[in-house]
Structure 1
Amino acid sequence: MAVQDDPVSQNYVGSVLKDTFRKLDPREMIHNPVMFVVEVGTAVVIWLDIVAKSASGRSYDTLVAVILLMTILFATFAEAYAEARGRAQADFLRRTKSSTRAKVLQPDGSTTMVDSSQLTRGSRVIVEAGDMIPGDGVVLEGVGSVDESAITGESAPVVKAKEDAVTGGTVLLSDRLVLEITVNPGETFLDRMIALVEGAERQKTPNEIALSALLGVLTLIFVLVVVTLVPIARYFGPHAANITTMVALLVCLIPTTIGALLSAIGIAGMNRVSLVNVVAKSGRAVEAAGDIDTIILDKTGTITIGNRMATEFLPVPGVSVEELAEASLISSLADTTPEGRSVVELAQKILHLDTLPEYTGEPVPFSAHTRMSGIDLADGRQVRKGAVSAIRAIVQDAPHELEVNAELVAKDGGTPLAVEVDGRALGIIRLKDIVKSGLKERFADFRAMGIRTVMATGDNRITAAVIAQEAGVDDFIAEAKPEDKIALIKKEQAEGKLVAMTGDGTNDAPALAQADVGLAMNSGTMAAKEAGNMIDLDSNPTKLLDVVMVGKQLLITRGALTTFSIANDVAKYFAIIPAMFAAVPELSGLRALNIMGLKTPHGAILSALIFNALIIPALIPFAIKGVKYRAESADKMLARNIFNWGILGVIIPFIGIWGIDRILGLFGLA
């Protein structure tokens, strides 16, 4: 499912502009104390501009009022733009919902192609090999092999016959089915997700609430400082400072940059997880992902590709590799499972076959009772492959090497399949779980961040240890049952750690609910999706790794922009304070603080205000897309951010204010 790089198209421009002005309502602005103070200050300056009698005073007041108004508009635009991206995501989900086409069976036997979103309870549809099942339903006719690995985590396809239930989003691998849909439009998971994205109000996260409180306290302190300065300035004469200048000083000293971008950063954090096709039920979940200490990952479908693959033929003495490969090929021609196809592909390579040979006979499907499958050939030969114990039971005088090779495969973390022809054992097929490429490096990155990775699997301890070592996880639990996962989560949380995990089945629901970050699969059960606080629309369990990275990026972005906002207040201090009292003989020593060489008090104040306004839209891309994140320890991350966003946050305003002052001088405004 593709995701737009920038979902805010021209259709949303009008909506963004409308919301930008709507958010100027003081009843909305009061929730952001920093920008509310700026709005009140702007109203005061506009009132002074209206009643001012001096032409020069009116000109100065007008310029300050315009700049302050632009500052507020840039702040409300940042939040409106971030919200518009969320609405665009909802529309994108709506389009995705209708992207699956369904063959609806008409009463006269004909078929009509419609969008899956138009299917209603009772609709009958035809699904053929390779088609995605368009909705939840029940099989009316036919028998077919369905890939449900995204739901159950089991790599082997499931045979569906009459009266069996099927789930929308799964794929029919073979044959043809006639289904009856059992859900109505509006009852699907995507419908609920669209309502969630469009209708739910974003709740502030604990860290965001704490930062908002800190900004509110800082704002109150600076208000008191400026109010205290007013009588001092009046003491030295009206030329020292007027109300407009005091408002400008207040706006430049309070952390307006982070105050303007704080809400946008939080909204964008939820939107960024949507770029990896994950819907977050709350901003708390995204933020919690950034603080995760332990990640619990299932082996099948998460660490491994989900399908065991044939990697080697191990013949017994007296049998050639080619003979074993040919028998394995014959026994697997009718096997449509991923493992069966991998056996055929490996045999083709060994035998150097460009096309598959034709063998006539009666296929013998796999069953849980016999634990084997194969074919009864027309020439009378019987070829079987299956569990070693099952093959050994029908083979007379099985060679000792058959058991030796089987144990060798098992100790190496693989699954052995035995092959026999007419009661004669030929050897072992090695099936191996293939670890997904790049995971070892990603786990190393998490280790560098102090995040512990744990693999959970139902395999025996030997197999689990081999896969864990190959994947590079820090620990594993073998023969794990659902209650074992919950016990592990509670144990980690009791030690003060935050835990994340993925799941898709009903038996995963308790663990998903217990975890601090529970990523449920879209194609999983309703219980799992209700229990999790995030849902992956692609049903890809490895997406949890991306979610953690997004959470880390959210926290780093908020910290970086907060550091920058506070740091650039220093430069604005050196611009305005010297300019305010430059004309006071008794305070001539303050002129030494004018290290930027700003020409006039009014020019210095206007330059600082313009920079203060322009830096907000300049940082909107960082707030929306996030600051670049690197996998490293907290100490290195802190040191790097202090330099990049702290030291540079001081230097850049000095350069910017100095440059703006020179430009204003060209127009006689400084």
Structure 2
Amino acid sequence: MNAAVDRTPSSILGPAQLGAALPGALRKLDPRALLATPVMLVVELGAAATTVLTALDPSVLGVAVTVWLWLTVLFGALAESVAEGRGKAQAASLRALQTETTARRVRGGGSRGGRGLLDLATDEVASTDLRAGDVVVVAAGERIPGDGDVVEGVASVDESAVTGESAPVIRESGGDRCAVTGGTTVLSDRIAVRITSDPGQSFVDRMIALVEGSQRQRTPNEIALNVLLGSLTVVFVAVCTSLYFVADHSGARQSVLVLTALLVCLIPTTIGALLSAIGIAGMDRLVRRNVLAMSGRAVEAAGDVDVLLLDKTGTITHGNRRAHEVLTVPGVPRERLVEAALLSSLADETPEGRSIVELLGAGREVPAGATLVVFSATTRMSGLDDGDRRVRKGAASAVCAWARESGGSQPQAVLDAVETVSASGGTPLVVAEQIGAGPVRLLGVVHLKDVVKEGIRERFGEMRAMGIRTVMITGDNAVTAAAIAREAGVDDFLAEATPEDKMALIRREQAGGRMVAMCGDGTNDAPALAQADVGVAMNTGTTAAKEAGNMVDLDSDPTKLIEVVEIGKQLLITRGALTTFSVANDVAKYFAILPAMFVVAFPQLDGLNVMRLSSPGSAIVSAVVFNALVIVALIPLALRGVRYRPAAADALLRRNLLLYGLGGFVAPFVGIKLLDLLVSLVPGL
């Protein structure tokens, strides 16, 4: 759990939480605030009506009904206020990151195109004066003044204030790990950062807005359910209105107060009061797991995901291929291969090149008089020229082509080693040397290996049990992709994928009626993240990826998607369970209360009065009190969520109906009867 972001108390309904939420709940009693929840608006209008009637004709029944109707509205508002308060508590800790700092802004906006920026003159300005496009220089011990991308340099950055992880991370220019977040601290070296957001639009600003439940927009499913609840409310208004005339015609006139109380008991007040809290709590549970959902719609969509697409590099694997071993060929001493591989890597500043130096002999210096040959995308080789000796290391095709041009041979042992490394999911780099004008000789192969993240195979197995198909997307060739897919345990893979290929795959799956989730961290993943129903961007990734997705994983852990899906399913199940409970409650209250209320006017209803409630007045008050208390009893479940267990849809439906349907039907009979025994002791009822 994120210690920096999650500062919510362990108790969901402790005195401190209730005390903090009460002022917000009272503000929500404003009828304008209740327009979005028609059920609770009807309850408040009913409470206002009974207040007026009781003032005109005071009675114990009138006072009891009025007080508990107002409490019903308050409890519903309290549920939403408690859910919002948990998010606001997290937002308060995030605001600590927004302290104004001094920034060193590069003069002229860094017009050198991203090179030599660290040497340009700077001006000290307030962080609030920075605008998108400005370039700032940040040194060790300084706080990064705003969101941006590293455009020059490499540094170790402490992101614990955002992610809660104490281990520093490396941020460098020119890759998919260039994005930095305002409020984090540089621990070593210096970097030039191009600011990507204006004041008030930073990542932390968006985090604050998202975790504050009051700024959460209702999802389409919530809106649809509100329409359904509103329709049921209209039906019961019509039913209760007709009962007034029936009772009056029968000589047993029921007051508007009694029928108002009956209306509140019969409309779906339970789910109406808890619906908003369920949605807010779903997003809150994601935040406490270091995942930011940009909308409630994304959380709901996660609960329906059928297909999960994952970018390989940085998502399934750690991102940087590392030197694993060197493979010699017959006739070449291992020491000679190691020396050539090491010398040819001294000029290679890529992560792969640095890993070869670390594996074979960190600290080795360039020989006196030697010339380094820097790796380039054109030659796809790096190396060193020392007198009449030239050593090179690079892609197999490039080095073999160099050998052919000089008249050198390509030993089958080298080609076999290249094929073996590729088949295992690794990347082969061939090492060669040339003496004078003689032919190039291939010395052996360096095996670079993609390291699959720990525990990911087991998590993919859990996804499979949930009915989710996993697909790995990579730019690697099919042989390499197949090997990584087997090691990671994914169901399928798409090799040599371009951004267009990713988009086409997502659209094909969506055209088949499936909900697609996509994990990624690079700019080339941005189109697919935007197209997917659920796009989870890694926080270590580029700004473009985070802007395109509708979720951001602060921990940059692709296996976290299993928790995202579980929380999405938990949200849907919780809403369905409490809706089932609420409707079953209403049906039970209908049969429990009406016979007791109208037995005087219609004696034949006495046979249906199975609970044998003491009197019509006691039945009314007991039902109203039960109706209010059940909301309070279910607030913890709404905030915590119904526990999700991977199972087939029909099994979940049966469990839902048995536990919450049957439970919702039985609970009013038990609860109202117990309350009736107490209420009947009150004089005047």
> For the superposition of Structure 1 and Structure 2, which TM-score range results when normalised by the shorter chain?
0.7 to 0.9
Look up the SS of the partner of 1:4 in the other structure: coil
SS in 1 for 2:33: helix
Residues of 2 paired with 1:530 and 1:137: CA distance?
Answer: 13
Query: Residues 390 and 505 from structure 1, CA distance in 2 versus in 1: closer, same or farther, beyond 3 angstroms?
Result: closer
How far, CA to CA, are the matches of 1:84 and 1:131 in structure 2?
Answer: 29
TM-score by length of 1: 0.80
| RMSD, aligned CA | 4.7
* Equivalent residue number for residue 24 of structure 2: 19
Residues 382/440 of structure 1: CA separation in 2 closer, same or farther (3 Å cut): same
Change in CA separation of 1:331 and 1:605 when aligned onto 2, cut-off 3 Å: farther
Q: Residues 101 and 318 (structure 1 numbering): CA distance in 2 closer, same or farther, change over 3 Å?
A: farther
CA contact (8 A) 1:331 1:374 kept: yes
Unpaired runs of 5+ residues, structure 2, are: 108-119, 160-168, 435-439
CA distance in 2, matches of 1:376, 1:156: 32
Range that drifts further, 541-550 or 165-174:
165-174
Note if 1:4 corresponds to 2:18: no
Cα distance, 1:490 vs. partner?
A: 2.3
Structure 1: which amino acid aligns with 2:66? Answer: A
Q: What is the deviation of 1:404?
A: 0.8
1:409 aligns with: 421
Match of 1:274 in 2: 287
Residues 119-153 of structure 1: per-residue CA shift (max 9 Å, x gap):
678675343599979653786xxx744799x9xxx
* 1:617 pairs with 2:619: no
Q: Equivalent residue for 1:427?
A: 444
- The secondary structure found in structure 1 opposite 2:29 is coil
1:561-600 matches, cutoff 5 A: 561-583=578-600, 586-587=603-604, 589-590=606-607, 592-594=609-611, 598-600=613-615
Deviation of 1:517 after TM superposition, in Å, equals 2.9
3-state SS of paired residue (1:26): coil
Structure 1 contact 145–172 (Cα < 8 Å) conserved = no
In structure 2, relative to structure 1, the CA distance for the partners of 1:310 and 1:661 (3 Å cut) is farther
Say if 1:244 and 1:34 are closer, same or farther in 2 by CA, change over 3 A.
same
Equivalent residue letter for 1:229 = L
How far did residue 600 of structure 1 move? 4.0
Distance in 1 separating the partners of 2:102 and 2:353: 29
1: CA distance, partners of 2:45 / 2:214: 30
Establish whether residue 39 from structure 1 lines up as the match of residue 56 from structure 2: no
How many Å separate the matches in 1 of 2:257 and 2:448? 78
Retained in 1: the 8 A contact 2:580–2:660?
A: yes
Deviation at 1:209, TM superposition (A): 2.2
Structure 2 Cα separation of the partners of residues 535 and 282 of structure 1: 11
Q: Secondary structure at the match of 2:490?
A: coil
- Cα distance in 2, alignment partners of residues 95 and 115 from structure 1: 17
Q: Which of 631-640 and 598-607 deviates more?
A: 598-607
Tell me how far apart the structure 1 counterparts of residues 528 and 224 of structure 2 sit (CA, whole Å). Answer: 29
Q: Residues 251-291 of structure 1: CA distance to partner in whole angstroms, max 9, x if unpaired?
A: 22211100111122223333333334444333323322322
Could you tell me which residue of structure 1 aligns to residue 646 of structure 2? 631
What does the per-residue CA deviation read over 1:228-249, in whole Å, with 9 as the maximum and x for residues that have no partner? 22333345554x8544333232
SS at structure 2 position matched to 1:29:
coil
- For residues 30 and 264 of structure 1, the distance between their equivalents in structure 2, rounded to whole angstroms, comes to 16
**What is the percentage of aligned positions where both structures have the same residue?**
53
Structure 1 letter corresponding to 2:420: L
Cα shift at 1:74: 0.6
Aligned to 1:387: 395
Q: Deviations over 1:302-361 (max 9, x none)?
A: 22221223444433235677886687677667866554565567669xxxxxxx676664
Residue of structure 1 equivalent to 2:113:
none
Structure 2 length normalisation: TM-score?
0.78
Spell out, residue by residue over 1:489-532, the C-alpha distance to the aligned partner (whole angstroms, 9 max, x if none).
Answer: 22223233333324455544443443333344556556555544
Correspondent of 1:210 among 205, 220, 224: 224
Alpha-carbon distance in 1 for matches of 2:662, 2:192: 67
CA distance in 2, matches of 1:492, 1:244: 56
How far apart are 1:614 and its partner, in Å? Answer: 1.3
**1:232 corresponds to 2:246:** yes
Letter of the structure 2 residue corresponding to residue 605 of structure 1: I
Instruction: Indicate conservation of the 8 Å contact 1:268/1:624, yes or no.
Output: yes
Q: Which residue of 2 aligns with 1:351?
A: none
Match of 2:70 in 1: 69
Moved more, 480-489 or 122-131: 122-131
Deviates more, 1:35-44 or 1:281-290: 281-290
Matched, 1:298 2:311: yes
Cα shift at 1:44: 2.5
**SS of the residue 1:418 aligns to:** strand
- Equivalent residues in 2 for 1:85-484 (5 A)? 85-97=86-98, 124-128=136-140, 135-136=147-148, 144-145=153-154, 167-169=179-181, 176-177=190-191, 185-186=199-200, 188-191=202-205, 194=208, 202-234=216-248, 237-238=251-252, 241-317=254-330, 338-340=351-353, 343=356, 361=367, 365-373=374-382, 385-392=393-400, 393=402, 399-419=411-431, 426-484=443-501
Specify the SS of the correspondent of 1:430.
strand
Verify the 8 A CA contact 1:137 1:181 in the aligned structure 2: yes
Compared with structure 1, are the counterparts of its residues 506 and 144 closer, same or farther at alpha carbon in structure 2 (3 Å cutoff)? Answer: closer
After TM superposition, the structure 1 stretch with the greater mean CA deviation from structure 2, 316-325 or 214-223, is 316-325
The structural deviation recorded for 1:458 is: 0.9
**Mean Cα deviation higher: 191-200 or 274-283:** 191-200
1:28 aligns with 2:28: no
Residue of 45, 54, 68 corresponding to 1:49:
54
Change (3 A) 1:509 1:617: same
Q: Cα 1:160–1:469, aligned 2, differ >3 Å: closer, same or farther?
A: closer
| DSSP-derived class of the 2:501 partner | helix
SS, match of residue 435 in structure 1: coil
**Which segment drifts farther, 78-87 or 6-15?**
6-15
SS at match of 1:444: helix
Is the contact made by 1:598 and 1:604 (CA closer than 8 Å) also made in structure 2?
A: yes
1:501 and 1:544 in contact (8 A); partners too: no
The verdict on how the C-alpha distance between 1:431 and 1:364 changes in structure 2, with shifts beyond 3 A counting, is same
Q: Are the counterparts in 1 of residues 233 and 267 from structure 2 also a CA contact under 8 Å?
A: yes
Q: Which amino acid aligns with 2:71?
A: M
CA distance in 2, matches of 1:420, 1:663: 93
Which secondary structure state, in structure 2, belongs to the residue aligned with residue 454 of structure 1? strand
Q: Give me the whole-angstrom Cα distance separating, in 2, the residues matched to 1:223 and 1:365.
A: 80
Task: Verify the 8 A CA contact 2:103 2:136 in the aligned structure 1.
Answer: no
SS at match of 1:593: coil
Counterpart contact for 1:241–1:580, Cα < 8 Å: no
Contact 2:84 2:213 in 1 (8 A): no
| In 1, Cα distance between equivalents of 2:6 and 2:525 | 31
Match of 1:486 among 503, 512, 517: 503
Letter in 2 for 1:84: G
Secondary structure, in 3 states, of the residue corresponding to 1:605? helix
Judge conservation of contact 1:454–1:473 (CA < 8 Å) in 2.
yes
- Tell me the matched-pair count: 644
Residues 464 and 478, structure 1, Cα contact 8 Å, conserved in 2: yes
Matches of 2:590 and 2:196 in 1, distance apart?
A: 67
Match of 1:655 in 2: 670
SS in 1 for 2:180: coil
Cα drift, residue 645 of structure 1: 1.6
Query: Deviation of residue 561 (structure 1)?
Result: 0.8
Displacement of 1:459 in angstroms is: 1.0
Q: List alignment gaps of at least 5 residues for structure 1.
A: 349-355
One-letter amino acid of the structure 1 residue matched with residue 5 of structure 2: V
